[in-house]
Amino acid sequence: MLLARSRLGLLLLGALLTFLLYLLLPAAQHEQRLAGSRPDEGKQGRQAANATARTGMAAGEPPVFYREVSAGPQASGAASPGRPAVLFLHGQAFTSKTWEALGTLALLAGEGYRAVAIDLPGYGDSPPAEMTATAQGRVAFLDHVLQELGMRRPVLVSPSMSGRFALPFLLARGDRLAGFVPVAPVGTKDYAAEQYRRVQTPTLILYGDRDASLGPQSLQSLRHLPGHRVAVVPDAGHACYLDKPEDFHRALLGFLCQLK
């Protein structure tokens, strides 16, 4: 009887140890992967930690909420010499906060770029603006934003819904942009191939390979831009910057580095 109880005790102790190992080993492996297999993420985290976030409301009418992140020697908000400023618009379900949360603003600031994201009228902290009801009004709106924020020939990043603002501005004021990065924007079919062919702005066309609608649809129109290149983000949907931020950032930085 005593021997049977001893064996039972040993069996229970072994089962308990096995259960504890089952709980602890995956956590240890997860920590090891985070610490050792992705050094770029650590670098990006350090950049974000050292960054200074600044928000404000651009003066004039309409008022526009913006946020920018500057790091290191760029704390004043100025870009390094020879590097363009970058202005981020957003999709319908998002705001300027998206680019801060992804670390995009901090990453670019760490590379010496002035990176600014705005809330489009009626989104986030920007009030609605009647002037944006027409394409001409949306061009005037972006003119106003660039003037108030002191951004001379920036690179314009335009995902999804914001194509309603960026595309008419590109066609009317392309010479005021150092570069254009459309991310599966809406409204590309509203313009003819000949209109696109007149644009000389360097362009990076970005979309996710799992975006079966706006990605390839916008490419059919945007491929008429003379100075374009295409980057397809693997295993990513319509908001490819959310699905694969590292791949998105790599493509964006590669494009920015090649601009003169």
Q: Report pLDDT digits (tens) over 108-146.
A: 999 999 999 999 999 999 999 999 999 999 999 999 999
What integer best gives the mean pLDDT of the chain? 83
pLDDT at 50: 55
Catalytic residue among 90, 144, 228, 238: 238
Annotation marks residue 213 as catalytic = no
Q: Reply yes or no on whether the pLDDT at 27 is more than 90.
A: no
Beta-ladder partners of 57: 65
The sign one gets for the Cα dihedral 154, 160, 164, 167 is positive
Annotation marks residue 238 as catalytic = yes
Task: Count CB-CB contacts under 10 A for residue 131.
Answer: 16
Catalytic residue among 96, 126, 162, 211: 211
Average pLDDT in the 28-35 region?
A: 32
Question: By the 8 A CB rule, do 69 and 106 touch?
Answer: yes
The residue ranking higher by pLDDT, 31 or 20, is 20
Q: Could you give phi then psi for residue 118, rounded to 5 degrees?
A: -120, 160
Residue 114 neighbours by CB under 8 Å, 6+ apart: 68, 70, 74, 77, 78, 79, 85, 86, 151
Question: By the 8 A CB rule, do 170 and 227 touch?
Answer: no
Q: Could you give phi then psi for residue 211, rounded to 5 degrees?
A: -85, 100
Question: By the 8 A CB rule, do 182 and 231 touch?
Answer: no
Give the lowest-confidence range in 50-59, 104-113, 182-191, 239-248. 50-59
pLDDT at 130: 95
User: pTM for this structure?
Assistant: 0.79
Catalytic residue among 70, 96, 126, 160: 160
Annotation marks residue 126 as catalytic = no
pLDDT at 38: 33
Q: Report pLDDT digits (tens) over 234-248.
A: 999 999 999 999 999
